[in-house]
Structure 1
Amino acid sequence: MSYPARFDRGHTDDLMTFLAASPTPYHAVANAAERLEKAGFRQVAETDAWDGTSGGKFVLRGGAIVAWYVPEGAGPHTPYRIVGAHTDSPNLRVKPQPDTGAHGWRQVAVEIYGGPLLNSWLDRDLGLAGRLALRDGSTRLIDIDRPLLRVPQLAVHLDRSVSTEGLKLDKQRHLQPVWGLGDAHEGDLIAFLEEEAGLQPGEITGWDLMTHSVEPPAYLGRDKDLLAGPRMDNLLSVHAGTAALVAVATAAGAAGSELPYIPVLAAFDHEENGSQSDTGADGPLLGGVLERSVFARGGTYEDRARSFAGTVCLSSDTGHAVHPNYAERHDPTHHPRANGGPILKVNVNNRYATDGAGRAVFTAACEKAGVPFQSFVSNNSMPCGTTIGPITAARHGIKTIDIGVAILSMHSVRELCGADDPFLLANALVAFLEG
C-alpha cells in the first residue's frame, strides 16, 4: 500500500481549530467522532450486538472514544496497532452547589481538577463548558466561549512579598472566580445555563462543567515557528491520532489493500487524576472493545490471546522540552527541542512503558515516515511523571511504547510547542498504524 499523503503545516492549522472547539473531553470526542464519520466510520452502541464486517467503527463513552478500522481480509486473530491518548486537561471544575460569593461579588464555586499551574489561571477571561444531564435522561453539550468568569489576583500593593517570596495560593480561598455583582442565590448558575442552552427551567438535573480560557490558539514568534494554545496536553495527540487513523483507513479503502494490523485510536478521560474510571485507561473500555471486535469476527478466546500477543500500542502524550531558563532541571544529556520531532520517553522504573524492543518499533515508524525523533529521560534527582502507557501495558498485556511532543508550560492554561511537531507526530503515527 502506498504511503498516504503527508501532513504539513496545514495539520497544525487544523489542530488550532480542534483545540478551540474542544474546551472539554466531551467536546473533544464529539469533534473526533465528527471527523471519523466524515471519513466513513460509523458509531456502534455498546448495548447493541456487533457484527464482524470490515470498515471503520467507533464507540463513545463520556469523554472517551475508541475507534478502529477493520480492513478487508482481517482475521479474528489479526493483531492491533493502537494509538493511545487522553482527552482531559487540568482545570477548574464547577462544584455541585456552584452559587457562592462575598462582599457584593457573585462567584462560582470550583474544585481543582488534576495538577494545573494555578497561577496561570489568574486574571484570565474564562468561559464555561461541559455536559448537561437533562430530566428526560438525555445529555447536551454546552460551550459558553466568551468572557464569563475571572479569578482576580491580589494587587501587589496588598502583598508586597509576592515579588520576593513568590506567589502562594490557597486552593480553597484564592481560586473561586467572580462572574458578577450582587448577592448569590441558589440556582443562579444553572438557570443561566438553561437560558443559554434554550432549555426550560428545571430541565437540567446534573452537570459536568469546567472553565477554560477563551483566548484562541495562535502562532508565536518572529517566524511563527511556535504554537501557543490550551489543552495541548493532550488534545495534540488526540488530534494527531484521529488524523492518522483517518489517513490510514482512507488509503486502505481506496486501494482495496489489506493491512497487517487493525489500526485503533483509544482516547481516554481522567488521565490527569489516575485513569481509574469507566472512561479511563485503567478501566475496561479498551479491552472490552478489542475483545468484542475479535468475537464479532467469529474469533475464540484463543484468537483473542493471539491477537493481543501481536498488538502494539503507542501511548502518545506531551513531554517536556528543554526550558531555556531552567536547563538544570533536565537530564544533562537529553534536551528535547521544539520542532525536533516526537520524543521517545524512557524510564527504567516503568513510569514509561518503553523498552529496547519498543524503541525499535518506533524507530522503524519514524524512518518510514522520514520523521526525526528525540529521546526523553528525566533528571535522576527529580521524580518522573507517567502516562497511560504503563497502565495499558499492565492491564491488557500488550507491548506499549511511550512517545509524544515536547512542550513548555505543561499544565498551564496555555502551553507552547513547535509549530512543526504536531504534523511530524501525525506522520509518524500514520507509519506506525500501517505496520
Structure 2
Amino acid sequence: LLASEVMGFLRFYAKKHLVIVISHNYQLITKYSKMIIDLDSHQNNYNFNQETRYHKYLYQQVSSPLIKIKFYLKRQLLYQKKKIVMMFCSQLFTIIAFVLLLSGINGGWNYIKTCLKSNPIKEIIEISKKDYNEMNFTNKQINVLKNDSLVTSLNYKLDFSFGIFKTNQELQLESYQVHDSDYIEYLNGKFPSQNNQIMINQETAHKYNLDINDKLYFIIDENTYHLSVSAIIKDYINNGDNLYFSDKFIDLDLKDKITDKSILVIKSKYFKQLLKKYEHDYFIINFHQDYLDSYQTLFKMALMVVICFLIISFIISLILISIILKTILIERKRDISLMLSNGLPLNKARKLFSQETSLIGSIIGFLGSVLAELLLRIINMLNISDKLFNLPNLFILPKLMISSYDIYIIMIFVYTSACFGVGVLSSLQISKMNTSILLKED
C-alpha cells in the first residue's frame, strides 16, 4: 500500500519532471511505467528515442532543420514566455518609436520642400556692394551683371519701407519684389497687369479683411498713391503680413520715390553659381535659399537626434536581449545537459541555441515592422497628423533604396543578426558546463 502511494506521487511529479525509479518489484514498475530498462536481462523494454513527453527540452532527431528550430522555439516561447514577452514588448516599442520619428521627420521635410516650391521669391536675389564708401552701383557694374548669362533680369530695388500703407487703418506690411512665375500659388486673382496693382498673401487678407480689387493707400512725402489688390496668394514660407509687387507695374513717379540704388534685384535660377562668382565683391542674398538652409539645418539636427536615439536604444536593446538570453541559457543548463547526455553533440547544441535566438530576433523585427506599418496606415487613414499638427500626410517613410519598406527589411536583418550574435556568445558557456554535476543535482 505504501509503495503504491509513493508511485502515485512519483507519477504525478513526473508530469513536469524526469523521474528515475530503481526497484526490484517488476510488477509494481510495469503498473506505473512502460519505460523500463531491465538490468537483469540487459535490454530496454521501451524505445526512449521515440518519447517526447517526458521532458520539455528532449532532443529530437528530425531531418528538417526548420522543423527542429520550430520544435525548440515553441518550447522556448512556452516555458520562458514571461521573459520573451518582456523582451518582445520593449523591442516593439523601440521599433515603433523609431519608425514614427523617422517618418515624421521625412514627412515634415517633404512638406517643407513642397512649400518651398511655391515660394514667390524663389528666384529673387538681392545684390549690394561691400564698398561702403561708394554704395551705389556704377553703370559698368550694372552692365556686367546684366550681361551675365546667369542673370535673367536686373532692376533696382523698390523699397516701400520709405512710406506708410493705409486703408482705414495703418498697415504693417513687408514688401517683396517678384516676377511672374510658376512658383506663385494663387488663392484668388491673377498677377498684376496694370499700374499700381499689387498682391497680398493669405495672412494679410485675413488680418486686414482685404479682397480682390480692394484699395490700399501708400503715403510718401505727403503724396498718396492708390494700390489695387490684383491677387491673394498662398505663401507658406514668408510668414507675416506681406505685399508682393512687380516693378513693371508701379507708377513711374512712385517708383522714383522708392528706388534704392544701393541694391539690385536680380531674377535668376543660379543663386549658388552667382554667389561663387561674385561673393568677393558683393553681398548676395536669396531669402529662399536662407529659408531652405535654415530648414535643412533644423531637419539635420532632428535626424541626428533620431540617429542618436536609434543607437542608444539599440545598445540598450542589445544589453537587454543579452541579459534575457543569458538568463534563459543559465536556467536551461540542466535541460541542455540532458540533451547532451542523450547524444546531442556540443557544436549542435551551440548551433541550436544560436538558431533559436536569431529566429526570435527575426520575429521581433517582423512583428515590429508589421505593427509600425499598421500604425502608420491608421494615422494616415484617420488624418491624425492633420488634426493634431494641421499637416496632412506627415508620417511618410523615406525611400532608402528600392521602396519605403526598405527600413523594415533593414530592421529585420539587424535584429536577426544582433540576436544571432548574442546567441553565439551566450552559447559559448555551454562548453564550460559540467554535465554530470548538473544532472546529479537535478
- Give the TM interval when normalised to the shorter protein: under 0.3
Greater relative contact order: 1 or 2 (C-alpha under 8 angstroms, separation 6 or more)? 1
User: Could you tell me the TM-score, scaled by structure 1's length?
Assistant: 0.24
Q: Which has the higher helix share?
A: 2
User: Could you tell me the TM-score, scaled by structure 2's length?
Assistant: 0.23
Q: Which has the higher strand share?
A: 1
Which has the greater radius of gyration?
2
